[in-house]
Structure 1
């Protein structure tokens, strides 16, 4: 069973949602990233980890690049989500944003996948995983608050679009169980705050 999973799924995937730093000619603005790391295991299970970092306007972008590169090893495939406008008329493939080229590492044996997704498609994929994402463009600061959810929704979209049904069901069930555990871990802290 483990052999089948490894043939059809990447050994390790990092789904990235990026709010890239502004270029040197643009006004200073906040930036950051959400990274959802998926390590498939045997029997359709997986381990998950979520990394989110935001940086203030004028902050040096080098720590962001270093934090993203630390998530990659030679067996990692990146799924890079770039929010795009819905196509008007004919559908033309969106070019890879040049701002991302310096941020996403090109190491290892796996290719990186670029997923230009309109916000309403990302929000729809997020609802499958119980994520609440707006369908309209938020401000940069508001977006940093949800960038981890964007990364998870991009992975759910990829799972629905490209994974065989049996793997999709098992991985989605594994993911939903992980989400429940994450919520349970956060719940005691919020209960303590309400009492005081």
Structure 2
């Protein structure tokens, strides 16, 4: 009986988490420009990799298979894409650990020509709202030590540096700054949509 209860309860928790991570595709306005926001799907993977290639000077820190593997994990991952005129401009991903009550931003990238238009900030705020809604204690991420623009955005959103990972990035072995945002039950009042 106890085993049945645990199995049944675990299934209910998984179903609730999948529901929490559901997001409806919709149009939105950021800084007076219309975009389309949706949950990333397998057909988006080539464009996601292309965004990475443009952001990281021809390199792809994650390959198509890595993104495909992430998208399969609908119970504890959420990847969002922003499009304009059916062209993928930005994406962001987050993992959610219910047991530890931690969310971790796995990736975020905005095409260079579209940076500075609020897309990255919108994606970050959306993921932070999801984490808060799901009762996460914190949101963490790593950022390149040289990426001052991203660090400024994360600091604006309340992230604090908590450490350094030496030689973290594949290829050039650049250091990463660990950053963390502590979440409280208070509602975020800086939403944009």
Q: TM-score, normalised by structure 2?
A: 0.26
Higher RCO (C-alpha 8 Å, min separation 6)? 1
Q: TM-score, normalised by structure 1?
A: 0.26
More strand by share: 2
More helix by share: 1
